Structure 1
Amino acid sequence: MPRRLLSLVMLLIAGTAAAAESRHTVLLLGRAAGEQTLSLEDGEYRAEYKYSDRGRGEALVATWRLDDSGLPVDYRVEGHDYMKTAVDERFGTGDGVAHWRSGSGRGSAPLGPRAFYVPEYAPPELTAVLARALLKAPGRRIPLLPSGEARLEDAGELSLEFDGTSRRIHQYRISGLGFAPVPVWLDEHGDTVAIVTGWLSAIAPGWEPAYERLLSEQRAADEAAAAQLARRLTHRRGADLLIRDVRLFDPRDLSVTPASSVLVHGERIVRVAPGGDITPPPGVEIVEGRGRFLMPGLWDNHQHFSDSTGILDLISGVTTARDLANDNEALMARVERIDAGLELGPRVLRAGIIDGPGPFAGPTPMLAEDATRAIEIVDWYADHGYGQIKIYSSLDPSLVGVVADRAHARGLRVSGHVPAGMSARQFVAAGADELQHINFLVLDLLSDRVTETRNMNRFTEVAAHARAYPPDHPQVRELLDILRRHGTVLDPTLNIYESMFGADSAAPPPALAKVVGRFPPQVARQQKSRALEVPEGEEAAYAQALPALMALLRAAHEAGIPIVAGTDSLAGYSLQHELELYARAGIAPSEVLRIATLAPAEVMGRTDDLGALAPGRYADMLLIDGDPSRDIGDIRRIDAVFKGGDRYDPAELERALGITPSVDAAGAR
């Protein structure tokens, strides 16, 4: 008899009191990283779920009971979240009321038409539980608690060999949980086969070899939907476009010139008239600026692309982005689709990750244990059109020079995390051109006492000691002078540390505070700050850590160290907030705009095409109802985004993701 998952649902219907157990493999980028153990006894389901990701990762124990419709009547979960913060969540029903308690607060609602409670923290199996409930529900729709609605679509059937027998499995897609539908694979009995994403997946025993096929089937559906969206939301024009009567920002000299005009032919700017008119060519499309602010498109220099990244970028004015580690095959295919107009997104520059083997290795096959393998990896990236190598924390420090020399010989830049056992100044001396994350500057100052930086130390030690190193500290001045002399670029990602140090772990990240209320309800609930638990007695140190990092950033800028803005968090909106943090740190708004436009084009050697509005460069532009060169907060007041002259309406893009545009939410910006 072919081996198959024991049907937990059928056991419950049969009323058995016996325990049944199944173990699902948890995959991180397709590689085993943990497990999900499922059991059923006396009508109670239990899931133990854990995975490890470079010293981080969730560990949850959840139990729940279902009614005859497959809806939870109670749910409990304990453990810790990705950043090791304690989790304790409860949901129950009684006396006609549903009530819940989690880290973000308490709530209740009359039961009325029965609804499905979506936990803040749950093992992957809960998604399959929802799919089975939707299959039973009228119209395959169920209200969600605390709010929202889930809808189920049958995305087709797939026949696969399993233990020598052909088995039919179904792909279902649940809308209402995220910006995009969530796929779930169930077998002919309704049992969970897999919940697969390009990042984190759970797959039933024996089905692991099908992971790539399942992911491929999902991506085909995703790509078809993305292409349809791109056709609908890209406003193409004729050959010529004229934007006139704008206040033109030039990051080369930080000037703002009123009554200006820009003429575009094809994808590129052909003429710029600061303070002047351009006679419209025959058949030109004219955009009346009416005194609004026109500037180059923004860059996000630290991203990891996934399905909604590109559209979130365009919503927020990001027209060029740099991916700093991903599933290489998936990323290259995505960039091809964006370039071909089959998916919405900015121009994407690719940096390829390289790490060393070990328990904290990054989730990538690009692991080098010796110089031969390191050179092979660099060559692969160079041969596939990557422009940069990103070194990660587990690479043997002795290989940094090998990687840097080979990368530079092939015309690639070198950046990254500082490998464990190495200081930032040693990393730069070995050939690194750029540092990711400002915490590594503080870790350099602590390098005599903190040598293991692959685990949570790289956050907790910085939180505890950053305030001890103000800009006038001799070690700080020495380090900044070294970076300045080497021309080292800094990619700070300040928004991450704002979220970690002193934020509310149950609240959204500060970077999203201004926009999360407009997100779809369940998406909004998923946004957590991932704040670190503050050890007793270190409250003051943690509270002063972010101000210390902001002071360090300003000192780096004043020392002449090139800075490029990046997020490493939710795309688009987080970049706008990252720029606001730079202004809060004391960098003038016009300089912040330069950091977000021309500076990265200079760093990446792309000033012939990007970074300023000038003849010959791509027509990547933002039309803004405000003046972010005076008030950086106006970077959120974007009326239109142009990429290669094609126009995108941020409000239209937001509606496509289920986000309420700011003009709808408030009646005006």
Structure 2
Amino acid sequence: MRCSVLMLVGVLVAGGGLYGQAAPRVVEHGVYGVHLIERSIGSEEYEISSTGLRRKLSVTTNTSERGMKHTTTTTLEYRADLAPSRFEQHTITPATATAAAVDHASVTEINGDQVTAHEAESTRSFAKPAVAFPGFANMPAAAQMMMMRYWLHHGRPQKLVLMRASADALPVEIRAVGHDVFNIKGAMVRLTRYTVENLVFGREVLWMNDRERLAGVMTFAAGLPQEEVLDEYKSAFDPLFGSAVRQEMLDLATLTRAVKPEASGSYAIVGARLIDATGAVPVENSVVIVRDGRIAAAGAASAVTVPAGMQVIHAEGQSVLPGLWEMHSHYSGVEFGPALLSAGITTARDCGGELLFLIAVRHAIAEEHQLGPRLLLAGLVDGDNHDAFGLFTAGTAEEGKSVVDMYADAHFDQIKVYTQIQPEVLRAISEEAHKRGMTVTGHVPAAVNAFEGVADGMDQINHLQFVTKAMVPEWSAAPFVLNDLKSDRAKRLIALLAAKQIVVDPTIGWGEMAGHPKSIPTWGLEPGVKAAPFPLAWRFNNIGVAGMDEAKFKDGMVAKLQVIGALFQAGVPIVAGSDTNLLGYGLDRELELYVQAGMTPMQAIQSATSVPARVMHHEGDSGTIAVGKRADLVLVMGNPAEKISDLRRVVSVVTEGRIYDSKAMGATVGFHR
């Protein structure tokens, strides 16, 4: 094996010298286009240099994403037999008006049989495994290429140990899953398709060519969907992407086969506390009868008779509620389905993702009964600007109408407008969306405020910040503070939102997570991080703002919670969504914060059940427990109508009448509830 590697390298270097004999020479070079939700946001350039038996990979990645510029430099030093000796990565967060630039450094050093790895604020020294590779969650494509070469030339182990700073890091699992053939400049090119699991949450899809160069990688489950394609294959971006979507659907079928329902068809749930989300007093010792995916009966055990011979699910000590609605998801991989279902979420609204993937996964769930919540889709559109977000943009009214028609023809439920949309385009989008039976949600564009956004046709607003921003006088550069809530401007805005029934999903839990001081451990805000699979746990345990004042942070949270309370008391519809917070648990945290804002636990539950069903026009078949509605249910230990955090204690979830064990469901994607 080693001889073959040395021969291969010898061909590549074509006469490279021994140690200390010659200056490094470049033996390989490449450029990858970097995309976010299929939109080009920058490039990654790499080169491999050779000095005798030593090799060095050098990578520079420059991206500009929604106005945020980032530079990442990565180096990997290794021997000709591909054995790594040092892996180092630096990501520079640029300076802002309020913060200095930050260098996020990760280093893994291998000295003989000893390894020292440093990532974020963690450092670990340990004995080097016999077959192992250094790795970080945000490895560039070229570094993943070297990982693949190492794996290919070291026996293709079923599990490849990653030398990381945490002993909890999972080994990556690499599988060859097929081949794809493309026509590149008139020549037929064959690529081998692989999936890579545990580097990020979920499975990446990547391709290697016959020269062991990584042609492309699609990461569906790393916060937001990302794609990188080597320049020589950029003309094949669309077919590569299509192949990745097909692979994802195959992976979803595998996940579905991994967990079987405990019951389906006809059965009775007996003994649970019935919280039907209508606002009625919970019914102790209830019976809910399910037939063919629908609720056939529900009420007190004294009033509902279980038919003879029907299967009985005993749920004493538990509460049964309508399945929860996640109203702000970026559904970035098929692993999202089991993760959300295991948290009791049976309907999710996607607020901006990859068009073909979303259409495919929606079909797989709805028509093929694969694992996942029912998906409602909001089609993302931004202004025609270099800082735009997502693939589809509109710079004119006609372009805006065309994008709306495309989404409407694909049976999307809403349009999601974004920051760079101009006022005249927003008005055209809203008019066309309403004509096509769709509603308009999204960010309030930068060119208007919330007052004007509503006047221009917005029906819903994502994120509380766009409400609080409009409460501050336009001439003021100061951020929102609690006193602004008492202003005439704030009162006028709240009255407008209530009168027009403008729906707000605050996503305050994600704001808390992303903006909390690092001095407050993540688990102190979100205990669910302890149950998350390592790639997610690592990401969330290292989120936070270094040096931030805790008192200032807490004062800001109090102010935001009071705004939510004021909106709710005025009658503004509030729906719960967690954005890119911890999957499943992020919705629990959102509801806990609503209770802190002044809602009763029942009202918070309704913000994730009956209210979203009503504002999304599905109240006829969802959102409450009633005869004839979809059998989308969640069973939890305890009584969330009194203690909202009991929603975290999911026992079972029912989707389309199929009842699953929550722990078994979550385990398919690494959660251990």
- TM-score, length-normalised on structure 1? 0.89
> Counterpart amino acid of 2:160?
I
Cα separation, 1, equivalents of 2:120 and 2:614: 44
Change (3 A) 1:615 1:522: closer
Three-state SS of the structure 2 residue aligned to 1:515 is: helix
Q: Which moved further from structure 2: 606-615 or 159-168?
A: 159-168
Residue number in structure 2 paired with 1:454: none
Is 1:548–2:565 an aligned residue pair?
no
Please report how far the alpha carbon of residue 653 of structure 1 lies from its aligned counterpart in structure 2 after TM superposition: 1.4
Q: Which moved further from structure 2: 77-86 or 596-605?
A: 77-86
Please report how far the alpha carbon of residue 213 of structure 1 lies from its aligned counterpart in structure 2 after TM superposition: 2.0
Is 1:314–2:347 an aligned residue pair?
no
Deviations 1:135-189 (A, max 9, x none): 1223524222233222322222333333443333222222332443323211112
Report if the CA contact (8 A) 2:271-2:314 is conserved. yes
Deviations 1:331-368 (A, max 9, x none): 12211110123521111112222322012212122x22
Work out which of the residue numbers 370, 382, 407 in structure 2 matches 1:355: 382
Report if the CA contact (8 A) 1:390-1:416 is conserved. yes
Cα separation, 2, equivalents of 1:100 and 1:195: 25
Is 1:102–2:119 an aligned residue pair?
yes
Please report how far the alpha carbon of residue 574 of structure 1 lies from its aligned counterpart in structure 2 after TM superposition: 1.3
Cα separation, 1, equivalents of 2:473 and 2:260: 50
Cα separation, 2, equivalents of 1:44 and 1:10: 17
Work out which of the residue numbers 418, 425, 438 in structure 1 matches 2:451: 425
Residue number in structure 2 paired with 1:30: 38
Is 1:343–2:343 an aligned residue pair?
no
Residue number in structure 2 paired with 1:455: none
> Counterpart amino acid of 1:182?
E
Please report how far the alpha carbon of residue 49 of structure 1 lies from its aligned counterpart in structure 2 after TM superposition: 0.8
Please report how far the alpha carbon of residue 314 of structure 1 lies from its aligned counterpart in structure 2 after TM superposition: 0.2
Please report how far the alpha carbon of residue 86 of structure 1 lies from its aligned counterpart in structure 2 after TM superposition: 3.2
Alignment of 1:463-542 (within 5 A): 465-469=479-483, 471-504=485-518, 513-527=526-540, 530-531=543-544, 541-542=552-553
RMSD, aligned CA: 2.7
Please report how far the alpha carbon of residue 81 of structure 1 lies from its aligned counterpart in structure 2 after TM superposition: 5.5
Residue number in structure 2 paired with 1:204: 230
Residue number in structure 1 paired with 2:193: 171
Is 1:180–2:202 an aligned residue pair?
yes
Change (3 A) 1:45 1:543: farther
Q: Which structure 2 segments of 5+ residues have no match?
A: 1-7, 18-23, 96-100
Change (3 A) 1:372 1:241: same
Deviations 1:517-562 (A, max 9, x none): 3334344324466545678xx8865553223212211221122211
Change (3 A) 1:53 1:276: farther
> Counterpart amino acid of 1:354?
V
- TM-score, length-normalised on structure 2? 0.88
- Same amino acid, percent of matched pairs: 25
Alignment of 1:572-587 (within 5 A): 572-587=584-599
Three-state SS of the structure 1 residue aligned to 2:481 is: helix
Report if the CA contact (8 A) 2:265-2:658 is conserved. no
> Counterpart amino acid of 2:151?
L
Cα separation, 2, equivalents of 1:126 and 1:205: 16
Is 1:73–2:85 an aligned residue pair?
yes
Alignment of 1:48-59 (within 5 A): 48-56=60-68, 58-59=70-71
Is 1:18–2:18 an aligned residue pair?
no
Work out which of the residue numbers 144, 161, 165 in structure 2 matches 1:143: 161
> Counterpart amino acid of 1:195?
V
Three-state SS of the structure 1 residue aligned to 2:231 is: coil
Residue number in structure 2 paired with 1:125: 142
Q: Which structure 1 segments of 5+ residues have no match?
A: 1-6, 451-460, 663-669
Report if the CA contact (8 A) 2:245-2:357 is conserved. no
Change (3 A) 1:185 1:527: farther
Report if the CA contact (8 A) 1:63-1:75 is conserved. yes
Report if the CA contact (8 A) 2:203-2:219 is conserved. no
> Counterpart amino acid of 1:426?
E
Please report how far the alpha carbon of residue 65 of structure 1 lies from its aligned counterpart in structure 2 after TM superposition: 0.5
Three-state SS of the structure 2 residue aligned to 1:196 is: strand
Three-state SS of the structure 1 residue aligned to 2:592 is: helix
Q: Which moved further from structure 2: 77-86 or 29-38?
A: 77-86
Work out which of the residue numbers 254, 258, 261 in structure 2 matches 1:228: 254
Alignment of 1:566-605 (within 5 A): 566-569=577-580, 570-605=582-617
Change (3 A) 1:297 1:404: same
Q: Which moved further from structure 2: 113-122 or 428-437?
A: 113-122
Cα separation, 2, equivalents of 1:124 and 1:9: 24
Deviations 1:85-127 (A, max 9, x none): 5312222123632112232322211225353222254322222
Change (3 A) 1:357 1:27: same
Deviations 1:20-67 (A, max 9, x none): 432221123333221111012342211001222212354201112024
Report if the CA contact (8 A) 1:241-1:645 is conserved. no
Deviations 1:191-227 (A, max 9, x none): 2211224531221122001122222223323222311
Residue number in structure 1 paired with 2:571: 560
Please report how far the alpha carbon of residue 505 of structure 1 lies from its aligned counterpart in structure 2 after TM superposition: 9.9
> Counterpart amino acid of 1:362?
F
Report if the CA contact (8 A) 1:355-1:368 is conserved. yes
Residue number in structure 1 paired with 2:277: 251
Change (3 A) 1:427 1:238: closer
Change (3 A) 1:634 1:615: same
Cα separation, 2, equivalents of 1:208 and 1:508: 40
Q: Which moved further from structure 2: 327-336 or 148-157?
A: 148-157
Please report how far the alpha carbon of residue 567 of structure 1 lies from its aligned counterpart in structure 2 after TM superposition: 1.2
Report if the CA contact (8 A) 1:227-1:342 is conserved. no
Residue number in structure 2 paired with 1:666: none
Change (3 A) 1:632 1:14: farther
Change (3 A) 1:414 1:139: closer
Report if the CA contact (8 A) 1:134-1:151 is conserved. no
Report if the CA contact (8 A) 2:518-2:547 is conserved. no
Cα separation, 1, equivalents of 2:550 and 2:656: 49
Please report how far the alpha carbon of residue 442 of structure 1 lies from its aligned counterpart in structure 2 after TM superposition: 2.0
Cα separation, 2, equivalents of 1:247 and 1:565: 23
Change (3 A) 1:432 1:167: closer
